[in-house]
Amino acid sequence: MFHGVMTALVTPFKNGQVDEDAFRVHLERQIEAGVDAVVPAGSTGEAATLSVAEHKKVIQMAVEQVNGRVPVIAGTGSNNTAESIELTQAAKALGADASLLISPYYVKPTQEGIYQHYKAIADAVHLPQILYNVPGRTASNIQPETVARLSHVSNIIAIKDATADMAQLTRTMMACEGRILFYSGDDASVLPFMTLGGTGVISVVSNIAPKTMKAMVDAVVSKNFETAKAMHFALQNLTDAMFVESNPIPVKKACELLGWMDGELRLPLTEQAAENTAALQQVMQGFQSDVESLNL
């Protein structure tokens, strides 16, 4: 249903408020670059620091600005089921095409709890839903057997897998037997992920390098693996720089360096260390040189 490069959008802030103008311009930039979908109000969008009203407003702005040109996959996950249902209901009412639901963080549910959480949301809201497994943020791991159980729920259509664990990915794909799609949630491993049968990436890096990420993914789909590998290597240093501090600190700094928006963050996220910003500037310059050499 959804495929290719799906950008996990940053949420611009200015003077403590969501910067609507910068957000809308960023959406246009992504669409012009050819991304296949956008994902507002996810982890990269600092959803955990948004009020419920802000969260809904960000989704609304994305739907309005995109105006049907690409799918909008709204981040609607929370650490409690009731709020996740509320946000998913709002996303449907606002016109989002699907929801992305992070596994409940902090509470560390059992596998049965994770299953019941997702099943309750799917039962409550008839909207295509994407599971999101990111153990580094949630302190729990959705096991292959649990994903397989959830793959039988009709409106659970995919999983965003950010584990970078190709063995677990393989086991999960085998357990699901083709019932759902698989999206990479780890920019550094998109190439091997897709060669195993993934159908796209929900990407942080594509906030600032959408054309290159799109070109790499398209090359994999076309089985042009030499080109895909060249792009993978060209992206590697930039990808590393995007995660030298907690996401989205580096990517928002990169957007600021490009003059696209203020790099403002909300506590407990803080300003990127000066030495990391200096290194980021060098990496961005090197990336631009590498891209030009590949005619991307």
Q: What is the phi/psi pair of residue 157, to 5°? A: -110, -15
d(CA 180, CA 129): 11
132 tagged catalytic: yes
Catalytic residue among 56, 160, 214, 253: 160
Question: What is the spatial distance between Cα 133 and Cα 166, in angstroms, rounded to a whole number?
Answer: 13
User: DSSP string of 144-210?
Assistant: HHHHHHHTTSTTEEEEEE-S--HHHHHHHHHHHTTSSEEEE--GGGHHHHHHTT--EEEESGGGT-H
Please identify which of the residues 105, 115, 118, 132 carries the catalytic annotation.
132
Cα–Cα distances (Å) from 242 to 42, 60, 74, 81, in that order, read 16, 27, 22, 30
Q: Is 160 one of the annotated active-site residues of the chain?
A: yes
Cα separation, 103 vs 121, in Å, equals 12
Under 8 Å between Cβ of 99 and 201: no
Supply the DSSP symbol for 18: E
CB 265 within 8 A of CB 249: yes
Query: Which among 160, 75, 169, 153 has a CA at the least distance from the CA of 118?
Result: 153
Residues annotated as catalytic are 132, 160
